[in-house]
Structure formats: structure tokens, C-alpha cells
Amino acid sequence: MGRGPRYRSSFRRRHDGKTDYHKRLKLLKSRKLRVVIRASNEHMRVQIIQSILGGDKVLISAFSKELSSKYGWNANTGNVPAAYLTGYLAGLRAKTKNIQEGIFDLGVFYHRNRVLAACKGIIDTGIEIPYREEFFPESLEKRIKGYHIEDYAKTLKSNEPEMYEKLFSGYLNEKKISPLKISQLISDSIKKIENKT
């Protein structure tokens, strides 16, 4: 550890790798609404935040748990399709409050695919957010629609039926969902979100 009269320790969040204060200052100076996306192991949260003197004001918020309680999403709330739906829900709520543009504030993100899926959900609603095309990998569209889950389930069901039953037991037994029809569940949930928002 550094010593001496000129040594200054960094902020704890900077030291822990959680906050890049130089990047945060640039975002605040832009004076645009910030689209903040955070992921945990089981859920996603998407917020649109206005920076004001004395703190931040949350204008719009969407939480992936809402998908199961209000919009008919019975599958996992921590996967890529659920992240997309959460972003889509936040984007539609922003449109109802006449929010037309913003800027991504992703922070230091570890759940990259889910965060990017939520970003894509917001952009698909028509909110103007600057980004580069290479920001989204080519495989993301397939993952958003749940085709990767369906493909994996088909492979397992034909080659290893016991493993299929074991891995997808949460879908088959508890939630009564066929993992072979996830894409249909996603499109049904999008329609419900559009109708109720």
C-alpha cells in the first residue's frame, strides 16, 4: 500500500471495480436521461434516471419479476429472453411518459448477454439511444427469441432423454412449460406487454 504525504487512496467503489468515476462524470455532464441496466443472478432491473442536483430521480422502472406476475411469463426471470422483455417493458413505459431519448449507463457489467438483451429491448421500442452496430453480437437475436433454449432442449430430448427430464424439470414439472416452445411464450408475452402498457 502507498505511503507518504502525497498518497491518496482511491474511492472504495473504484478500488472494488464497481464504479468508473471518470465515465460517470461524462454521463452526468451530457445532461441526458440515463438508462441504467443492472442484472443479478435471478433478475433484471431497468431504470431511466434523471440526474438532478442533490441526487438521482428514477422516472421509469421495470423489474423482471413483473413479467411473471402481470404479463404471463412463467419461465425463468434471469435468462436472456426475460432480460429483453424487461427492457422492452421499460421502453414502452418510457414512451407513455414522452421520453424519446437517453444514454446507456451500464457501469461495470458482468452478465453481458443479459444486459445487451435489455439494451436491445429498449431500442426496439423506438427510444433514441446512441450505439454502434458492433455493440450487439450476431448471436444475440437468436438468444433473445429463445431459439438457443429450444435447440438445446431438442438435442437433449433426442439424445439423452434422462438428462432432458433432469435439466428442464423446473419448466416441465413446476411451471408446466415445454422448453421446446419458449419462442411462442416470448411472442405471447410481448403481445401482453404491448396491450397492457
**pTM score, two decimals?**
0.85
Tens-place pLDDT, residues 72-128:
888 889 899 999 999 999 999 999 999 999 999 877 666 788 999 999 999 999 999
Tens-place pLDDT, residues 13-42:
666 766 676 777 777 777 889 999 999 889
Amino acid at 38: R
The domain spans of the chain are 14-196
Q: Which CATH architecture has domain 14-196?
A: 2-Layer Sandwich (3.30)
Q: Which residues contact 129 (CB under 8 A, 6 or more apart)?
A: 35, 101, 102, 103, 104, 119, 122, 123
Q: Which residues contact 166 (CB under 8 A, 6 or more apart)?
A: none
